[in-house]
Chains A and B, each alone.
Chain A
Amino acid sequence: MILVNYIACIILIVLGFYVILTKKNILKIIIGMGLVDYGINLLIISIGFNPGGTAPIFTFSELRPESFFVDPVPQALTLTSIVIGACVTAMALSLVIKIKEKYGTLDADKVRRLNG
């Protein structure tokens, strides 16, 4: 059911934002960012989905007007987006390690030397 996908991805995104806004632990904030990412990835995949379509693997000679397949573009987009998301998470985690070393805490309320 495609509707379930949309509901699920909206729930994921909202949960992600909820975590970013309310959790004070920086690690959890990064998990929240991940959740938003996954929600959006699910959204992209769902947009390209055609119920009953086949995999979009054709050569030009095989392509017929009646051939029915899922949209390949969103799948490519999702791959890119997943890769980017993984990079961002890795970057964020490496920063978190350094912050823990330097500040001795992961509490967002205490990591605020730059303010005002």
Chain B
Amino acid sequence: MQHYPILSIVTLFLGAFLTVIFGSKNETVRKFIALVASSISLILVLMLIKPVMIENNVIQYWMGNWRPIHDWAIGIGLEVDSLGLFFGIIAVVTIFLSIVFSFRYTEKDSETDKYYVLFLMLSGSVLGLVFTGDLFNMFVMIEIMTFAAVGLTAFRNYQEGALEAALKYLVLGSIGSSLVLAGTITIYSQVHTLNMAQISALLFNNLTPSTLFAFALLLAGYSLKAFVVPFHPAAPDAYMSAPSSISMAFSGMVNKAGVYAIIRLVYVLYHAMSFKSIQLLLIIIGTITMFVGVTMALAQNDFKRLLAFHSISQIGYVITAVGVSTALGLTAGLYHALNHTLFKGLLFLTAGAVFYATGTTDLNKLGGLAKKMPQTAAVFLIGAFSISGLPPFNGFVSKWLVYQATYQANLAPVTIVALLVSVMTLASFIKVAQSIFFGQMPKEFENVKEVPLSMRIPMWIMAILCVLTGIFPNFVTKYLISPAVSAALNVGKYIDIMMGNGYAEKILGKPVEIPAVDYVLAGYWNPVAWLVLFALLLLAVTIVAVAGGFNTASLPVDGDDSKYEVFFGGEANEYSHVKGNDLFWGLKYDLRHYFGFMHDAHSGIINDYALWAIFTTTIFIVYIFLLVP
């Protein structure tokens, strides 16, 4: 059992290696290798749920059997606690579904062996990042991750902007990595260890200016990896140009790796959440992130770019909730991270399906696809309702928790912004629904077909998971979220594994009790509600039946009976589709100065983006020096 974590990581890297050797000629071989590697990894990680999540152990593994000498870590160790495993589960599920999706999705691309090699490297590095117990190893993994991600962004280099996006990602990513590296070694110079448990124990109540400086650098670096505003501008470019299966992996796990690192940093390494000023910092950047992300998304005209800005916005929810730092807040944050992986992965897959079927994701060119691709449209609607937080889908649960957590922490402005952002999210998905799936269909898409089964299966799995996590929040919190929250708030266990039993209790005091989240408050999460729901659904079907929903007589016949034409002011019908650009005129007009400013700010020039990143890092450093004691 203690070998599972390392095996799950190594399988993926080995898969990448084998693909290089055996997969370069034969398509089937490389698909087989990728599928086997990702499913082994999936199974191994899922088998860790029982010991880690339920029995609450921390699994430790020393690479090369370099065990600590005199309680001093000299080798690289893996330490899997429930926080790491939570993100690990998110990662492996994303990897597996994304691989299955890409089998057919990449069939028009040449040299897919490179695709699988890079993808498996990306997967392995994310898994390594969340399982490792060594700060420098985290840096190495985050570098491999950035490296593979850049390669994958440029994979379709014939596409408009793919190279440019990759370069921006690379420059910004390496600024982030440099900050992380500088922070890591500054910590090392103070405590002379890289083992995170030891650092955590040594840094408790022992903050020197150097470690604070390191904290600011690490926070900025990991924020850049999580694409928090204003470190974000590389993200929409990269998500937009990468293949959709990769965009899904980006928003599902690469993003989450940054979030994981931030949580690990502020909760475990620095115990920083006792400082009001750090909480405030996270809440402020989180709120800005969610607002800027969603307003930028409203103005986009490309499906995937719009989704990318929503990724940024949803990460804002996560960071805000993490910043609230109560047990409820952290539960909200982690739950939203899980949900974001599910619904955003689903939405990116639908974007991929639309691209596969039509060859474009431009909102102003598409229209009326719901008739040709009914299943894609259905899962898209599930994803859109989930991200907009409509009950009973999963987004509602986590957003509800975010509102509760922020309002209970006396942060009314944040709650108001969060609710407003939620409505704007809905608005931008209405825009997508209208301009891609509904409305009238342009002539050139007459022959569009539904995507093949192997692409629909991952989408349906995601959609079903979206519904399940929405209607069984009790189980999800009990078995996945609460252990992870407990691991973040009770660092003692993590330290004890390294430093010997009872060490942590001496310095940290008693562990914090994690209160169970009371979903009764949400009104309808009780068994009786099931009955009501069932009755309601029955009612719905009955009404539709009465309305002639199953009556073929009301089907439009193919003749030219003009009563089945769309009303067109009494004139003959002609093609007129209300496109993405045409929507929300009043909103765009009233906020034109804001939208204009934001459009100009995202100038696309690398130097500007680098300036934002470095400037914000400086602000972090100054803020932390001034306001943290």
Which A residues are closer than 8 A to B by beta carbons? 13, 17, 20-24, 26, 29-30, 33, 36-37, 40, 43-44, 47, 71, 73-74, 77, 80-81, 84, 87-88, 91-92, 95-96, 98-99, 102-103, 108-109, 111-116
Check B181–A21 contact: CB distance below 8 A: no
Give complex CA distance A102, B154 in Å.
13
Give complex CA distance A65, B167 in Å.
50
Known: A43-B182, A43-B185. A84 touches B607 (CB 8 A): no
Closest Cβ of chain B to A15, distance in Å, is 13
Q: Which B residues are CB-close (under 8 A) to A111?
A: 164, 167, 604, 606
Q: Which B residues are CB-close (under 8 A) to A24?
A: 607
Residue of B nearest to A72 (CB): B74
Residue of B nearest to A33 (CB): B174
Check A98–B147 contact: CB distance below 8 A: no
Give complex CA distance A40, B139 in Å.
13
Residue of B nearest to A98 (CB): B163
Check A95–B611 contact: CB distance below 8 A: no
User: Which of A33, A77, A92, A109 is close to B605, meaning CB atoms less than 8 Å apart?
Assistant: A109
Give complex CA distance A74, B166 in Å.
31
Contact mask for chain B residues 369-381; partner A; CB cutoff 8 A; 1 contact, 0 none: 0000000000000
Known: A26-B606, A77-B136. A116 touches B299 (CB 8 A): yes
Give complex CA distance A71, B295 in Å.
50
Check B164–A20 contact: CB distance below 8 A: no
Give complex CA distance A37, B143 in Å.
13
Check B167–A17 contact: CB distance below 8 A: no
Give complex CA distance A97, B188 in Å.
38
Q: Which A residues are CB-close (under 8 A) to B143?
A: 84, 88
Known: A20-B175, A92-B167. A108 touches B188 (CB 8 A): no
Q: How many A-B residue contacts, CB cutoff 8 Å?
A: 121
Interface of chain A, helix or strand or loop or mixed?
helix
Check A74–B185 contact: CB distance below 8 A: yes
Contact mask for chain B residues 119-135; partner A; CB cutoff 8 A; 1 contact, 0 none: 00000000000000000
Additional 19 contacts, C-beta under 8 A, given A17-B610, A91-B151: A17-B614, A20-B175, A22-B607, A33-B175, A47-B189, A71-B192, A74-B185, A91-B147, A91-B150, A98-B157, A98-B163, A99-B164, A111-B167, A113-B604, A114-B241, A115-B599, A116-B299, A116-B602, A116-B604
Give complex CA distance A20, B606 in Å.
9
Interface of chain B, helix or strand or loop or mixed?
helix
Give complex CA distance A94, B168 in Å.
14
* CB<8 Å pairs between A and B, sample of 8: A13-B178, A13-B182, A21-B607, A36-B174, A84-B140, A99-B164, A108-B605, A114-B240
CB proximity to A under 8 Å, residues B155-193: 157, 160-161, 163-168, 170-171, 174-175, 177-178, 181-182, 185, 188-189, 192
Residue of B nearest to A102 (CB): B163
Q: Which B residues are CB-close (under 8 A) to A29?
A: 171, 606-607, 610
Q: Which B residues are CB-close (under 8 A) to A95?
A: 150, 154, 163, 166-167, 170
Q: Which A residues are CB-close (under 8 A) to B171?
A: 20, 29-30, 33, 92
User: Which of B150, B154, B299, B614 is close to A98, meaning CB atoms less than 8 Å apart?
Assistant: B154
Closest Cβ of chain A to B144, distance in Å, is 8
Give complex CA distance A21, B170 in Å.
15
**Is B113 close to A, CB under 8 A?**
no
Q: Which A residues are CB-close (under 8 A) to B610?
A: 17, 20-21, 29
Q: Which A residues are CB-close (under 8 A) to B150?
A: 91, 95
**Is B573 close to A, CB under 8 A?**
no
Known: A88-B170, A115-B602. A80 touches B140 (CB 8 A): yes
Q: Which A residues are CB-close (under 8 A) to B599?
A: 115-116
Check A112–B182 contact: CB distance below 8 A: no
Check B607–A113 contact: CB distance below 8 A: no
Counting from the closest, the 6 A-B pairs by CB-CB distance are: A115-B604, A112-B604, A116-B599, A47-B189, A114-B161, A114-B237
Known: A112-B603, A116-B602. A99 touches B240 (CB 8 A): no
| Of listed A22, A23, A111, A114, residue having the most chain B CB within 10 A | A114
Give complex CA distance A43, B178 in Å.
12
**Is B194 close to A, CB under 8 A?**
yes
Contact mask for chain B residues 226-246; partner A; CB cutoff 8 A; 1 contact, 0 none: 000000000011001100000
Check A112–B194 contact: CB distance below 8 A: no
Give complex CA distance A115, B168 in Å.
12
Check B185–A77 contact: CB distance below 8 A: yes
Check B185–A47 contact: CB distance below 8 A: yes
Give complex CA distance A98, B159 in Å.
12
Give complex CA distance A103, B154 in Å.
15
Q: Which B residues are CB-close (under 8 A) to A109?
A: 605
Residue of A nearest to B617 (CB): A17
Q: Which B residues are CB-close (under 8 A) to A44?
A: 181, 185
Give complex CA distance A108, B605 in Å.
6
